[in-house]
Amino acid sequence: MSDLRTIALAGNPNCGKTTLFNALTGLRQRVANYPGITVEKKVGQIRLGDGSPAEVIDLPGTYSLVPTSPDEQVAAEVLFGQRADTKRPDAVVAVIDASTLARGLFLVSQLLELDRPLVVALTMSDIAARRGIVVDDRALEAALGVPVIPVVGHKGVGVAALRSAVDRALEGNSGSTGAGVPKALAKAIAASSTSTDPLLSEIGGRYAWIDALMAASVRSGTKSHLTERVDGFLLHRVFGLGFFALIMGSLFITLFTLAAPLMDACSSGVAALGHWLTASMADGDLKSLINDGIFAGVGGVVVFIPQIALLFLFLSLLEDSGYLARAAVLMDRLLCKVGLHGKSFIPLLSAFACAIPGIMATRTIDSRRERLITILVAPFLSCSARLPVYALLIAAFFHHLPGWQQGLIMLALYLLGIFAAFAVAWLATKIRGRVASTPFILELPSYKLPQPRQVALQVWQNASAFLTKAGTTIFALSIVIWAITTYPKPSAERITADTSTFTAHWQAPADTPADKLAEVRQDALDKALAGKALETSIAGHLGHFIEPAIAPLGFDWKMGIGLVGAFAAREVFVSTLGIVYAVGDPGDATDGLQAEMLADRKPDGSPVWTTAVATSMLVWFVLAMQCISTTAVVRRETGGWTWPLLQLGGMNVLAWIACLITYRILA
Amino acid sequence: MVIKKAMSSSHTLADLPKGGTGTVATVGGDPRLRRRLLEMGLTPGCPLTLVRRAPLGDPLVFNLRGYDLSLRSAEARLVGLTTGNLVAGIRP
Which DSSP string do the residues of A306-366 spell out, in sequence order? HHHHHHHHHHHHHHHHTHHHHHHHHHHHHHHHTT--GGGHHHHHHHTT-HHHHHHGGGG-S
Residues A48 and A5 sit within 8 Å (Cβ to Cβ): yes
Mean pLDDT (whole number) for A368-381: 91
A7 versus A294: the higher-pLDDT residue is: A7
- Is the predicted pLDDT of residue A295 greater than 50, yes or no? yes
The whole-number pLDDT of residue A176 equals 38
The whole-number pLDDT of residue B7 equals 42
The whole-number pLDDT of residue A156 equals 83
The whole-number pLDDT of residue A4 equals 84
Partner residue facing B56 (CB), from A103, A334, A442: A334
The whole-number pLDDT of residue B9 equals 43
Averages of pLDDT over runs of 10 residues in chain B (92 residues) are 43 90 92 92 93 89 93 92 56 38
The whole-number pLDDT of residue A617 equals 94
A525 versus A655: the higher-pLDDT residue is: A655
Give B4 to chain A, closest Cα distance, Å.
21
The whole-number pLDDT of residue A488 equals 85
The whole-number pLDDT of residue B89 equals 37
Q: Cα torsion at A537, A543, A548, A551 (round to 10°)?
A: -140
Question: Going edge to edge, which strands form the sheet with B21-27?
Answer: A441-444, B67-71, B60-64, B47-53, B21-27, B79-81
Nearest CA in chain A to B33: A439
**What is the DSSP code (8-state) at residue A601?**
B
A436 versus A622: the higher-pLDDT residue is: A622
Instruction: Classify each residue of A53-69 as buried b or exposed e, where b means 16 or more C-beta atoms within 10 Å of its C-beta.
Output: ebbbbbbbbbbbbbbbb
Q: Which of B61, B70, B71, B77 to mutate to test the interface with A (most CBs of A within 10 A)?
A: B70
**What is the DSSP code (8-state) at residue A157?**
B
Beta strand A148-150 with A118-123 is parallel
Query: Residue ranges per domain, chain A?
Result: 5-219, 461-503+524-666
The whole-number pLDDT of residue A256 equals 67
Partner residue facing A63 (CB), from B27, B40, B65: B40
ipTM of the modeled complex: 0.84
Partner residue facing B70 (CB), from A200, A223, A440: A440
Give B81 to chain A, closest Cα distance, Å.
16
Q: For residue range A400-415, list pLDDT tens digits in order.
A: 888 788 888 888 999 9
Whether A440 has its CB under 8 Å from any CB of chain B: the answer is: yes
Inter-chain CB proximity A444 and B38 less than 8 Å: no
- Is the predicted pLDDT of residue A173 greater than 70, yes or no? no
CA angle A149, A150, A154 (to 5 degrees): 120
Inter-chain CB proximity A199 and B35 less than 8 Å: yes
Give A74 to chain B, closest Cα distance, Å.
17
Q: Residue A423's pLDDT band (boundaries 50, 70, 90)?
A: very high
The whole-number pLDDT of residue B72 equals 92
The whole-number pLDDT of residue A591 equals 64
CA angle A317, A318, A320 (to 5 degrees): 65
CA A544 centroid distance within chain: 35
- Is the predicted pLDDT of residue A244 greater than 50, yes or no? yes
- Is the predicted pLDDT of residue A579 greater than 80, yes or no? no
The whole-number pLDDT of residue A179 equals 56
Partner residue facing A199 (CB), from B34, B51, B56: B34
Whether B32 has its CB under 8 Å from any CB of chain A: the answer is: yes
Mean pLDDT (whole number) for A85-110: 92
- Is the predicted pLDDT of residue A605 greater than 70, yes or no? yes
Question: At residue A603, what are phi and psi to the nearest 5 degrees?
Answer: -55, -35
Q: For residue range A7-57, list pLDDT tens digits in order.
A: 999 999 888 888 899 889 887 777 666 655 556 778 888 888 888 889 999
Inter-chain CB proximity B68 and A102 less than 8 Å: no
Give B36 to chain A, closest Cα distance, Å.
8
Inter-chain CB proximity B36 and A237 less than 8 Å: no
- Is the predicted pLDDT of residue A177 greater than 50, yes or no? no
Give A236 to chain B, closest Cα distance, Å.
6
Mean pLDDT (whole number) for A223-232: 82
Report whether CATH 3.90.1150.10 matches the domain A5-219.
Answer: no
d(CA A468, CA A36): 16
Which DSSP string do the residues of B39-76 spell out, in sequence order? HTT--TT-EEEEEEE-TTS-SEEEEETTEEEEE-HHHH
Query: Residue ranges per domain, chain B?
Result: 13-81
Lowest mean pLDDT: which of A89-98, A173-182, A348-357, A473-482?
A: A173-182
Residues B13 and B70 sit within 8 Å (Cβ to Cβ): no
Nearest to A618 by CA among A300, A397, A350: A397
Class of the CATH domain delimited by B13-81 = mainly beta
CA angle A212, A11, A7 (to 5 degrees): 115
Tally Cβ neighbours within 10 Å of residue A137.
17
As a residue count, chain B comes to 92
> Which residue type sits at A383?
C
Nearest CA in chain B to A239: B55
Q: Residue A583's pLDDT band (boundaries 50, 70, 90)?
A: low
The whole-number pLDDT of residue B90 equals 40
Whether A437 has its CB under 8 Å from any CB of chain B: the answer is: yes
Query: What is the pLDDT of chain A when averaged over all its residues?
Result: 84
- What residues have CB less than 8 Å from A313, skipping those under 6 apart? A455, A459
- Is the predicted pLDDT of residue A80 greater than 90, yes or no? yes
A92 versus A599: the higher-pLDDT residue is: A92
Inter-chain CB proximity A211 and B92 less than 8 Å: yes
The whole-number pLDDT of residue B87 equals 40
Nearest to A252 by CA among A11, A60, A80, A414: A414
Highest mean pLDDT among A56-65, A163-172, A332-341, A390-399: A56-65
A374 versus A585: the higher-pLDDT residue is: A374
Angle of helix A611-623 versus helix A403-432 axis, rounded to 10: 40
The whole-number pLDDT of residue A34 equals 63
Helical spans, DSSP H, in A487-516: 492-505
Q: For residue range A266-292, list pLDDT tens digits in order.
A: 777 877 888 888 888 777 788 878 877
Beta bridge partners of B81: B24
Partner residue facing A215 (CB), from B55, B59, B92: B92
Helical spans, DSSP H, in A587-627: 590-599, 611-623
Q: Cα torsion at A353, A359, A360, A363 (round to 10°)?
A: 140
A window 191-230, beta carbon within 8 A of B: 199-200, 203-204, 207, 211, 214-215, 220, 223, 227-228
The whole-number pLDDT of residue B6 equals 42
